[in-house]
Amino acid sequence: MKPRFLVLRAAGTNCDLETAFALESCGARAERVHVNRLLGGQAALDACDALVIPGGFSYGDDIAAGKVLAVELLHHLRDPILALVERGGLVLGICNGFQVLVKMGMLPGIAAPIGVQEAALTDNDSSRYEDRRVRLVSVAERCVFCGPGERIELPLAHAEGKYVPRDAALHRAVVAGGHVALRYVAADGGAPSYPENPNGSIDHVAGLVDRTGRVLGLMPHPERALLRVHHPAWTRETPPGAGEDGHGARFFRNAVLYLRG
């Protein structure tokens, strides 16, 4: 069985082709769908197994990163998205998609109903667009997309990726509830400084997961590390016989395996 993934796009989205290719390479059936088709009823979320909101600059980030798309989804597709998750489906937000999920209130998803924003992904501390590779560690116990303790290296590219919780009490609940999925780490696995933490995220958070483990948002781009040859040092640092997958492939393969049951 090939699970059906709906890859959402809107004006300004620019990573939908790569994301669909990554999903299909990992055993999924991926369909790129413009948000207007969902709003107009020409496509439906109840016919898919997973929703992916890829990276880019939806609606030019004219108000704030991901804000316009978040408002559209929240006010017109809230119930279908919640129904998708409740029936066991997956939602993945990458970069701009992560920003959308946070602004919708789906992540971190502590206690507030969807529609109440609990955190922000705001301007990088460097006050500039960061385009670099980062090292990550997966810390979530229940995340479908990645397992605890995995060391991952992925590229990222964003100007607004700094995770800031509403307050310290909420972040304590985020940590205690296992909602931190990924953290930036230094080369030795220890606490990072800039540029290892490229945006100044509180507690070095690079990704969040909801209470179900089936909604993940992350700032780095796994679709840009699908193959090991995508790594600039693949001829020097990848052990012989390590396979063709890059570090990003695990997110898509794990999602497909989960949906296959």
Q: How does pLDDT run along the chain (261 residues), one tens digit per residue?
A: 899 999 999 999 999 999 999 999 999 999 999 999 999 988 889 989 999 999 999 999 998 999 999 999 999 999 999 999 999 999 999 999 999 999 999 999 997 778 899 999 999 999 999 999 999 999 999 999 999 999 999 999 999 999 999 999 999 999 999 999 999 999 999 999 999 999 999 999 999 999 999 999 999 999 999 998 898 888 886 655 557 899 999 999 999 999 998
- In terms of Cβ atoms closer than 10 Å to its own Cβ (0-12, 13-18, 19+), residue 42 is exposed
Cβ–Cβ under 8 Å, residues 49 and 22: no
Cβ–Cβ under 8 Å, residues 67 and 105: no
Cβ–Cβ under 8 Å, residues 14 and 57: yes
* Residue from 130, 204, 223, 231 carrying the catalytic annotation: 223
* Residue from 179, 204, 221, 231 carrying the catalytic annotation: 221
Cβ–Cβ under 8 Å, residues 34 and 13: no
Distance CA 39, CA 62 (A): 21
Active site residue 95: yes
Fold of 4-118+161-180+207-260: Rossmann fold (3.40.50)
Active site residue 221: yes
Which residues are within 8 A (CB) of 135 and not within 5 positions of it... i.e. 6 or more apart? Answer: 151, 152, 153, 184, 185, 186, 187, 192, 196
CA 185 to chain centre: 18
* Residue from 95, 160, 171, 247 carrying the catalytic annotation: 95
Task: Report domain extents, the chain.
Answer: 4-118+161-180+207-260
Active site residue 223: yes
Looking at residue 241, its pLDDT comes to 54
Instruction: Count the neighbouring beta carbons within 10 Å of the beta carbon of residue 62.
Output: 11
